[in-house]
Amino acid sequence: MAEIAVEPEVIYQGIPASPGIAIGPLHVMARGFSAPEVYEILESDIPREQERFHEALDVTKRQLAELQQRLESLSGGKESDIFEAHQMLLEDRAVVDRVSDAIAERCQNAEYAFYAVMQNFLEAMRRIPDPYLRERTADIEDVCQRVLRNFKAEESEVRHVAPSDGQHILIAYDFTPSDTAAMNRRHILGFAAELGSVNSHTAILARALGIPAVLGLDGTVIDLQTLTPGILDGYAGKLILHPSAETLARYEALSAEKAKVRSALEAMKGAATDTTDGRAITLSANVELIDELPLVKRSGAKGIGLYRTEFLLLNGEEMPDETQQADVYTKLAKELSPHTVIVRTLDAGGDKLPVEPLTDPEPNPFLGWRGIRVSLSRPAMFKDQLRAILRASAHGKIAVMFPLVSGLSEVKRARTILRECMDEFDKASIPFNPDLPVGVMIEVPSAAVCADLLAPEVDFFSIGTNDLIQYTVAVDRVNPHVADLYRPTHPAVIRLIKKTIDAGNDHGIWTGVCGEMAGDIRLTPLLIGLGVEELSVGPHQVPRVGQAVRSLSHAECAAMSDEALKKAHSYEILGLSLSLARKYYGNLLD
């Protein structure tokens, strides 16, 4: 059982972004410079830690003085004046005294006490309206990082008291999608941030990875301290500090109850996902990183319905070359055989990872250079990716899917380039699957409206509901001011999904859903009723969605969806679907 704090319980309310309970110490991460190791110290060690702090300041001052002299001799101008500002910060009595006091009050090592004090100082500066002052934060971050490097850890004889076991609740001002994807899941119990919405890619990835998350904790990070005992409630969107004995017991009981439900679902993994009246629904997984392969295999997913290749950009500013990509895709194909792996070509831009730095920022990146538009404008890069996919297709069941298609011309241009790659492979006698399945993502209303024109050109549709909703109702899903207007069950959205499915059926191709709606078991009855044949969800969501599918009758869902298509309000459509969900698997609903 976690240690019970004697300090009064404090509750912060945010947005429930990813379900789950996390109980453990906080680790507060600042923007701009890396956090050092944190550990508690004995009271008798406080003077030595304060001395280590002053030694690090002295070393930094000498370094800055040398840099200033060197720059003056080289330039002869006033460029070296910037280091005077750095020196002033290091000699600021208020700053120095606050760090010394923090070491004593927190009973934490000097490095972290310095980091925590400067983090709060920087966060306060970032909130200042004056743009000039805000820009000075980069200078302060630079000198702070230098001070941290100058701590001599090897000279410290500080005894660690109650060292962290490495597992913690991560707290930050904001998390990017790449931050979330790169999290070490062995150490992170859950995370919370000031910014973000339930529909942001950060939240989407958290749900896919099974990490409890709370976002929208406006203005709280500046007041939080690392090692504070806490509880993160991803169901209700709460961050609780210094939980009382009663609160702790209640959440431990809730966590145990949820664990029982998970165990029951685990026992069913791998079972066929057919409805009670025999309609087969393919249940596959969305994947960002190759490291998730073990998760996918344990989940019981029947292949990968969406491999997001933009996360290959995490390790650099450019896409890996053809050989490196082919190695990744081949590994996926071999590991998941005999199931299919659908590789989505690069979907960069918008609120996702950038494919390359832009000279001028886009005024509206959501309506700009992203998805298939990037690939078609960078044909050499696009061909590298298509050739890599073709190489992998010789080793297992691989399909390719083009993102953010808005009309027929883009599909034809993409297929022409694919055909060129196939011809090159034929001439070079490089093995590949000549019948490689090709699909498109339906994410733009124009694509849904003309789905009947696209269907003859492809082998399947995959509906990316996140963007389809965003573009249909004209709501930036990461904007908190309009987040309440982002409604998956908006009548227009449901009608576009139905139109897409019907167009696919008319031309003999299947339609799946790989967006967030696929993993929302409140909406599983609606999607099955509309005629979806495949659902692709986060690996952690597979068992729950699978059990939901197995609990439903397709005929009953179809009758309900016919009724839903007549409704004028999103809450009415949600209510119809939710009523069936509660009737057949109410225990699975969070």
Q: What is the pLDDT along the chain (590 residues), one digit of tens a residue?
A: 455 446 899 999 999 999 999 999 998 876 656 678 888 888 889 999 999 999 999 888 888 787 677 656 654 554 445 566 677 778 888 888 999 999 999 888 998 889 888 887 777 777 666 655 555 676 777 788 788 888 864 444 443 433 345 689 998 888 776 667 667 777 889 999 988 888 777 888 788 788 999 998 877 776 788 788 999 999 999 999 999 999 999 999 999 988 888 888 887 877 889 999 999 999 999 998 888 898 899 899 999 999 999 888 766 667 889 999 999 999 999 999 999 999 999 987 655 555 555 555 666 667 877 889 989 999 999 999 999 999 999 999 999 999 999 999 999 999 999 999 999 999 999 999 999 999 999 999 999 999 999 999 999 999 999 999 999 999 887 777 887 899 999 999 999 999 999 999 999 999 999 989 999 999 999 999 999 999 999 998 999 999 999 999 999 999 999 999 999 999 999 999 999 999 999 988 87
Same domain, 140 and 121: yes
Residue 115 belongs to what domain range?
43-155
Tokens of 543: 């068992």
The pLDDT, as a whole number, for residue 38 is: 82
Crossing angle of helices 81-91 and 137-149, in 10° steps, is 60
CA–CA separation, 559 and 572 (whole Å)? 15
Residue 490 is among the residues annotated as catalytic for this protein: no
Candidates 36, 37, 86, 80; CA nearest to 61 is 86
Please report, for the domain that includes residue 48, its CATH number. Answer: 1.10.274.10
Distance of alpha carbon 286 from alpha carbon 293, whole angstroms: 11
The tokens of 6 are what? 């004697």
**Is residue 210 domain-shared with residue 330, that is, in the same domain?**
no
In a domain, 564, yes or no: yes
pLDDT in tens, 162-173: 334 568 999 888
Note whether 102 and 113 are within 8 A (CB): yes
Whether residue 142 sits in one domain with residue 185: no
Tell which residue, 342, 556, 366, has the closest CA to residue 468. 366
DSSP 280: B
**Does residue 534 lie in a domain region?**
yes
Domain membership of residue 252 (yes or no) is no
pLDDT value for 161 = 39
Candidates 105, 128, 94; CA nearest to 49 is 105
> Is the Cβ–Cβ distance between 234 and 190 less than 8 Å?
yes
| 443 in Cβ contact with 373 (< 8 Å) | no
* Residue owning tokens 């298939």: 372
Same domain, 16 and 88: no
Residue type at 575 in one-letter notation: G
Q: Is residue 283 domain-shared with residue 369, that is, in the same domain?
A: yes
CATH number at residue 237: 3.50.30.10
Rounded Cα–Cα distance for residues 287 and 306 (Å): 6
Instruction: Kindly report the CATH number assigned to the domain that includes residue 374.
Output: 3.20.20.60
Domain end, chosen from 217, 247, 277, is at: 247
Catalytic residue among 27, 86, 168, 201: 201
Residues 464 and 559 in one domain: yes
Instruction: Tell which of 102, 128, 155 closes a domain.
Output: 155
477 is in an annotated binding site: yes
| Start-to-end CA span in the chain (Å) | 24
Q: Is 179 annotated as a binding residue?
A: no
Looking at the structure, do residues 320 and 401 belong to the same domain, yes or no? yes
- The amino acid occupying position 192 is A
- Quote the pLDDT of residue 563: 98
In a domain, 260, yes or no: no
The answer on 428 and 407 residing in a single domain is: yes
Length of the chain: 590
Final residue belonging to a domain, choices 155, 175, 201? 155
DSSP string, 170-200: EEES---HHHHHT--TTTEEEEEESS--TTS
Q: Is residue 60 part of a domain?
A: yes
Of 495, 546, 535, 490, give the one whose Cα is nearest residue 511.
Answer: 535
Rounded-to-integer distance, Cα 493 and Cα 583, Å: 25
451 located within any domain: no
Angstrom distance (rounded) from CA 302 to CA 340: 8
| Ramachandran quadrant class, 146 (left: phi over 0; alpha: psi -120 to 50; beta: rest) | alpha
Question: CB of 390 within 8 A of CB of 328?
Answer: no
Catalytic residue among 27, 514, 540, 557: 514
Query: Which of 404, 401, 462 lies closest to 436, judged by CA?
Result: 401
Do the beta carbons of residue 283 and residue 275 sit within 8 Å?
no
pLDDT of the residue at 164: 45
Quote the CA–CA distance of 371 and 380 in Å, as a whole number: 16
Contact 230, 15 (CB under 8 A): no
Nearest Cα residue to 396 out of 427, 367, 436: 436
Phi-psi region of 474 (alpha: psi -120 to 50; beta: other; left: phi over 0): left
- Cis peptide bond prior to 338, omega within 30° of 0: yes
Report pLDDT for 162. 38
Q: Quote the number of domains for the chain.
A: 3
- Is residue 486 one of the residues assigned to a domain? no
Q: Distance between CA 196 and CA 122 in Å, rounded?
A: 20
Q: How many CB atoms lie within 10 A of CB 473?
A: 18
Give the separation between CA 195 and CA 177, rounded to whole angstroms: 13
Amino acid letter, 193: A
481 domain-assigned: no
Count, in order, helices (H) and strands (E) of the chain: 22, 16
Same domain, 297 and 235: no
Is 31 assigned to a binding site? Answer: no
> CA-based diameter of the chain, in Å?
84
- Report the relative pairing of strands 534-537 and 282-287 from DSSP bridges: parallel
Q: Is 60 helix (H, G, I), strand (E, B) or coil?
A: helix
Q: What is the pLDDT, as a whole number, of residue 373?
A: 92
d(CA 204, CA 375): 24
Q: Any known ligand binding at 142?
A: no
Does 298 show up as a binding residue in the annotation? Answer: no
The tokens of 294 are what? Answer: 């073990």
Separation between Cα atoms, residue 452 and residue 499, nearest integer Å: 9
Output phi, psi for 236, to 5 deg. -105, -5
427 and 328 in a common domain: yes
Q: How far apart are CA 476 and CA 149, in angstroms?
A: 41
- Which residues on neighbouring strands pair with residue 108, listed in sequence order? 40
By CB neighbour count within 10 A (0-12 exposed, 13-18 middle, 19+ buried), where does 543 fall?
buried
pLDDT for 185: 72
- Computed over its alpha carbons, how large is the radius of gyration of the chain? 27
Q: Are 232 and 12 in contact (CB under 8 A)?
A: no
What are the two backbone dihedrals, phi and then psi, of residue 319, each rounded to the nearest 5 degrees?
-65, 145
**C-alpha 557, offset from chain centre:** 31
Task: Clarify whether residues 139 and 224 are in a common domain.
Answer: no
Query: Dihedrals φ, ψ of 22, to 5°?
Result: -125, 130
Closest CA to 512 of 465, 476, 554: 465
| 466 labelled binding-site residue | yes
Active-site residue 201, yes or no?
yes
Q: Quick one: 114 and 186 in the same domain? A: no
